[in-house]
Structures are given as structure tokens and as C-alpha cells.
């Protein structure tokens, strides 16, 4: 069963994980998220990062360790992981790894209403999607190759391997769907049901 979390934004999980390594201030957290390409896995901006840091502090998962004052920059508060935060990190991560969750991707929502579009338009739009998926897959493969050549261990690229597997599965699905939508049986069935409405 999925546990109700004091902080439910997945960005909170990333913050806890980075603070496991060492205490840091939110600006540094944001820099590291970008530097390690975690911004491909966690949707965030500067405002949401500071908001999540505030929520984690309020929940007792992180604490202010020190405030760094520098004449060149505004003062920065460095945060450290608490014991409760460490416990939350491991509990939350274990839950996400072990338990599949119902997600509501926008493409799934669009597919549930696909029959509203004419077969020809649906096939044309899916062709565009397939081209975009091909480009994303190639870009991801190139990034994995480059990181591997730089000596990055595979475990630090596992989310990119997952992304590739999902892209490849979706590419296969879209190609098959395009074929099915072009089949004479579907065309006549669509015309019978929707022809007068289009």
C-alpha cells in the first residue's frame, strides 16, 4: 500500500538523496541536479526547489546546519539530513522501486480519445510522434555512450537506460498503432461510427 508522505513532491526525494552525500545550500542542490542530469528525472525550477526545501525542513527531514555569509553573494543557508530524513529517504525510495503506481501520462489520455480524430489525421500525428521519439532515443543513446566513454558507472546511468526502454516500447507501440489505424477494417468501422460527426 502506498504511504501518505509529509512531502509528496518527488523533488523532495532527490534533495534527501543529495543531502545524504553532504550538507549543502539550495543553490548548490540545484547546480548538482543539473550537473548530474537529474533535471531529466525530476521536474523543478528554482522556486519549487526552495519550496520543497522548506517543506522538508518543516517535516523535520532536514535541518539548518549553518548560514554562510559572503560579501560577494547573498547569505546562504546550508542544510543537512536528519535521522528522520535518512529514514524517509530509504522508506520512500524502497516504496517507489517496489510498488508500481498508477500514473496518468498525457499520451495515455490522448489515446483514450483517439477515435475522435479521423484515421488519416491520427496516423499523420502519430508519425510526427514517432519521429520525435526516434530523435529522443538517439539523443539519449548518444548521452549514454558519452557518459560511458567518460567512465561513468552503469548504475549512475540506469534512469537513462530505463528511459531508452520506455522510448523503444512506445516507438514499437506507435508503429503498430499506425498500422492498425490504416487497416481497411478500422477505416470502414470509423466511417460507420464517426463519419457523420466529422
Residue at a domain's end among 98, 116, 138: 98
Q: How many domains does the chain have?
A: 2
**Domain-located, residue 16:** yes
Pair 119, 85 in one domain: no
> What pLDDT band is residue 1 in, cutting at 50, 70 and 90?
low
Is residue 5 in some structural domain? no
Q: Are residues 78 and 110 located together in one domain of the fold?
A: no
Average pLDDT over the chain reads 92
pLDDT in tens, 109-131: 999 999 999 999 999 999 999 99
List of residues 6+ apart from 45 with CB closer than 8 A: none
For residue 38, what pLDDT is reported?
A: 87
pTM of the model: 0.80
- Please write down the HEC assignment for all residues of the chain: CCCCCCCCCHHHHHHHHHHHHCCECHHHHHHHHHHCCHHHCCCCCHHHHHHHHHHHHHCCCEEEEEEEEECCEEEEEEEEECHHHHHHHHHHHHHHHHCCCCCCCHHHHHHHCHHHCCHHHHHHHHHHHHHHHHHHHHHHHHHHHHHHHCCCCHHHHHHHHHHHHHHHHHHHHHHHHHHHHHCHHHHHHHHHHHCCCC
Q: Is residue 87 part of a domain?
A: yes
Query: What confidence tens digit (pLDDT) does each residue in 23-34 have?
Result: 999 999 999 999
Instruction: Tell me the residue range of the domain where 52 lies.
Output: 10-98
Q: Would 190 be classed as within a structural domain?
A: yes
> Does any domain span residue 185?
yes
- Averaged over 165-190, what is the pLDDT? 95
Q: Is the pLDDT of residue 71 over 80?
A: no
Residue 2 in any domain: the answer is no
State whether 66 and 123 are in the same domain: no
Q: Are residues 187 and 161 in the same domain?
A: yes
State whether 152 and 88 are in the same domain: no
Amino acid at each position: 500500500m502506498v504511504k501518505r508522505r509529509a512531502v509528496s513532491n518527488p523533488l523532495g526525494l532527490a534533495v534527501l538523496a543529495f543531502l545524504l552525500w553532504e550538507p549543502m545550500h539550495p543553490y548548490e542542490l540545484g547546480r548538482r541536479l543539473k550537473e548530474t542530469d537529474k533535471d531529466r528525472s525530476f521536474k523543478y525550477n528554482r522556486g519549487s526547489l526552495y519550496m520543497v526545501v522548506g517543506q522538508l525542513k518543516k517535516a523535520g527531514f532536514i535541518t539548518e546546519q549553518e548560514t554562510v555569509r559572503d560579501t560577494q553573494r547573498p547569505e546562504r543557508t546550508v542544510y543537512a539530513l536528519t535521522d528522520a530524513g535518512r529514514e524517509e529517504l530509504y522508506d520512500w525510495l524502497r516504496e517507489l522501486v517496489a510498488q508500481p503506481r498508477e500514473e496518468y501520462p498525457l499520451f495515455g489520455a490522448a489515446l483514450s480519445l483517439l477515435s475522435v480524430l479521423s484515421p488519416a489525421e491520427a496516423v499523420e500525428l502519430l508519425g510526427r510522434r514517432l519521429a520525435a521519439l526516434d530523435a529522443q532515443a538517439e539523443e539519449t543513446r548518444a548521452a549514454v555512450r558519452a557518459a560511458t566513454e567518460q567512465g561513468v558507472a552503469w548504475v549512475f546511468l540506469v534512469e537513462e537506460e530505463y528511459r531508452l526502454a520506455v522510448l523503444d516500447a512506445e516507438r514499437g507501440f506507435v508503429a503498430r498503432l499506425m498500422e492498425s489505424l490504416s487497416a481497411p477494417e478500422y477505416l470502414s468501422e470509423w466511417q460507420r461510427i464517426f463519419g457523420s460527426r466529422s
